[in-house]
Structure 1
Amino acid sequence: MSTQGLQPLLDEHAELEAALADPATHADAALARRLTRRYAQLSRVAEAHRRSRSAEDELATARELAAEDPDIRAELPGLEAAAREAAAHLEQLLVPRDPDDDRDAIVEVRAGEGGTESALFAAELVRMYERWAERRGWRTQLLDTTWADLGGVKAATLAVAAPEGAYGLLRHEGGVHRVQRVPVTESSGRTHTSAVGVLVHPEADEVEVDIDPADLRVDVFRSSGPGGQSVNTTDSAVRITHLPTGTVVSCQNEKSQLQNREQAMRVLRARLLADARAAAADAASQARAAQVRTVDRSERVRTYNFGENRVVDHRSGYKAYNLDQVLDGDLDPVVGSLVRMRTDEALAQQAEAGA
């Protein structure tokens, strides 16, 4: 097992533990949040190291006693397997991670090719993410919804928060999701293919993105619900345009204009942070390029085939015939296949670099 780089991480963990025990650290809320995120990440490494070392010590002791005790000798295969598993888990945690993995996430779902059918499936994807989050004990908040006919959505923005950070898993959802099924509006029973785009951003802290109020144009309008009907008698919905970049964010799900403005600013900060990271680093640019650029059916990352109850992820090769369960929030096996794929790729790159 390669544990290159382990000791500096353990040292940093000890330093962060001392820093977080100092009341002065918590006088700066943004600093405390940043250090707490990093400490939680390194705590997983420290605990995995402790378990791996404990398993190795137990195995070494058993090997010494096995020559004289048949009962202990019979336990050796199980102890060896446990030691290998603990070592492999530690090795996976040592793979370089996206620095934003421990952040909360902003998920944007946008209908694309397919008209009404695409909007209907976009609404189903939003529900899928909400149910997945609920299964994992995460918190969700629907920040904005632009409704379409028959209960579909043209666009929706979902904030997802988790103690261990939601972005590390949700970032695998970025891309074009293709659906194949007979639309409710199709009278001949012919299967159609539609596309929905998903964009995932790490949520930014207020102090991380410097936004000059003079660079913002704020428009207010009346909130609308399914079918376009007004759901509010006041101009509570907010649209914010960041003039230097042309980035436009709107929010209308809250009852007050102030609340919608606050939520719109959350989304704007997340988008600007993602754009800044992409411009600053090649790795971030590649990560963003892996997400949806145009909501075109040919750029799909995953296909949902209703006729066969089948879901296929085109990046990891994952395939299963439990589409109904996946749409009900059983996403762990699908996302897990992507985590394993990217971990294996990173381990292979490490091994190649160390060769």
Structure 2
Amino acid sequence: MYDAVKPLLDEHSEVEAALADPAVHGDPVAARRLARRYAQLGAVVTAHDAWRQAHEDHATARELAPHDVGLREELPGLEQAEQQAADRLQLLLVPRDPDDARDAIVEVRAGEGGTESALFAGELVRMYTRWAERRGWRAEVIDAALGDLGGVKSATLAVQAPEGAYGLLRLEGGVHRVQRVPVTESAGRVHTSAVGVLVHPEADDVDVEVDPGDLRVDVFRSSGPGGQSVNTTDSAVRITHLPTGTVATCQNEKSQLQNREQAMRILRARLLAAARAEADADAARVRAAQVRTVDRSERVRTYNFGENRIVDHRSGYKAYNLDAVLDGDLDPVLDSLVRLRTEEQLSAQQDQA
């Protein structure tokens, strides 16, 4: 175990020393990358220290047990604690996508179901925001197009975390299906609607080189509720990357400059995701497994309001606490997906060996 961990422990010390150098912080992009890597390696260091302590406690107890009845009784518990600590460490040693330590751009789009889909899309935006708040992360809605009767037709969130938000939120990519009686349904019939979720790693400025000459910037008047300068002036911005046809818009901010900055964040994230997908077959598979069409049949998860039930169709997770999940209690669902992903990665490693 130690042989596998040692390179990471050494790297943790090197990154820690680099972060202590004031010169590093003269380059904000490099400093952010180091900080993300330090947080990622810190989890390995903590797990290794816990395993080492559990291993030493178990070894000491085995040595003294022949002369101590009390220690003999504690041996099974100490052995179990050592095994649990080893399992936690082993999980962290599974190779991770470097992008997992990045912040995330989350796009939520209403699909089949019209008004009902837009209403549920708004509830998903709230769910991700509440979940991030529970973890002490920062979640910011950087663009939203409101539905006619409430909710959102589309919304884009930026989620920031010290250890990176993308590693977990990438598991949310796909079609989310909702089953309930819409507020507009007079006969009380259950309708099925769909909402699409796309998740990209947020790009640093240097990750994607964007030639200003390749951009077309259009301005227009914001739609939806507004106040002074929001939907009374041409402050909304649409940026088109001409070589790829990629488009990003933002209309939430009051000034055209602010909207342009936010639209560029979205555009860079989309361009980075597209570049990775083109260069990496695994990334292409991940994107394909997210939202191809926002169709009810291509769902990754179902939310049944009548039964207060949530089901993830990938991990098989099922619970009857939908109200709590929509209020941000998303960790148990994500834990089931992390376990599934880890099992698949371990199985692939064993097959290669």
2: CA distance between counterparts of 1:61 and 1:282?
49
2: CA distance between counterparts of 1:350 and 1:241?
41
1: CA distance between counterparts of 2:351 and 2:201?
30
2: CA distance between counterparts of 1:161 and 1:298?
32
Residue 73 of structure 1 is matched in structure 2 by 72
Residue 223 of structure 1 is matched in structure 2 by 222
SS where residue 18 of structure 1 aligns? Answer: helix
What percent of counterpart residues are identical?
76
**8 Å Cα contact 1:237-1:260 kept in structure 2:** yes
1:97 aligns with 2:96: yes
Q: Deviations over 1:40-73 (max 9, x none)?
A: 2112112211221111111101110011011111
1:295 aligns with 2:294: yes
**8 Å Cα contact 1:304-1:312 kept in structure 2:** yes
Residue 198 of structure 1 is matched in structure 2 by 197
Deviation of 1:351 (Å): 2.5
Residue 244 of structure 1 is matched in structure 2 by 243
1: CA distance between counterparts of 2:346 and 2:99?
20
Residue 336 of structure 1 is matched in structure 2 by 335
Residue 210 of structure 2 is matched in structure 1 by 211
2: CA distance between counterparts of 1:36 and 1:51?
23
1: CA distance between counterparts of 2:92 and 2:172?
21
Deviation of 1:140 (Å): 1.2
User: Which amino acid in structure 1 is aligned with residue 293 of structure 2?
Assistant: T
**8 Å Cα contact 1:3-1:91 kept in structure 2:** no
Distance change (3 Å), C-alpha of 1:3 and 1:177 = farther
Q: Deviations over 1:172-211 (max 9, x none)?
A: 1100000111111111111111110000011111111100
Residue 149 of structure 1 is matched in structure 2 by 148
Deviation of 1:344 (Å): 1.2
Q: Deviations over 1:283-302 (max 9, x none)?
A: 11111111111101111000
Any stretches of 5+ residues in structure 1 without a counterpart?
Answer: none
Residue 50 of structure 2 is matched in structure 1 by 51
Q: How many residue pairs align between the two structures?
A: 352
Deviation of 1:25 (Å): 2.2
2: CA distance between counterparts of 1:328 and 1:280?
38
2: CA distance between counterparts of 1:326 and 1:51?
31
SS where residue 197 of structure 1 aligns? Answer: strand
Matches within 5 A, 1:1-355: 5-226=4-225, 231-354=230-353
**8 Å Cα contact 2:119-2:151 kept in structure 1:** yes
**8 Å Cα contact 1:20-1:32 kept in structure 2:** yes
2: CA distance between counterparts of 1:231 and 1:56?
61
2: CA distance between counterparts of 1:189 and 1:226?
30
SS where residue 7 of structure 2 aligns? Answer: helix
**8 Å Cα contact 1:175-1:301 kept in structure 2:** yes
Mean Cα displacement is larger for which, 218-227 or 124-133?
Answer: 218-227
Distance change (3 Å), C-alpha of 1:241 and 1:24 = same
Deviation of 1:226 (Å): 5.0
Deviation of 1:322 (Å): 0.9
Runs of 4+ aligned structure 1 residues displaced above 6 Å come to none
Any stretches of 5+ residues in structure 2 without a counterpart?
Answer: none
2: CA distance between counterparts of 1:134 and 1:40?
19
User: Which amino acid in structure 1 is aligned with residue 77 of structure 2?
Assistant: G
Deviation of 1:328 (Å): 1.0
**8 Å Cα contact 1:148-1:226 kept in structure 2:** no
Deviation of 1:8 (Å): 2.1
Q: TM-score, normalised by structure 1?
A: 0.95
Deviation of 1:304 (Å): 0.6
Distance change (3 Å), C-alpha of 1:252 and 1:338 = same
User: Which amino acid in structure 2 is aligned with residue 36 of structure 1?
Assistant: A
**8 Å Cα contact 2:176-2:196 kept in structure 1:** yes
Deviation of 1:231 (Å): 4.6
1: CA distance between counterparts of 2:248 and 2:180?
32
**8 Å Cα contact 1:149-1:226 kept in structure 2:** no
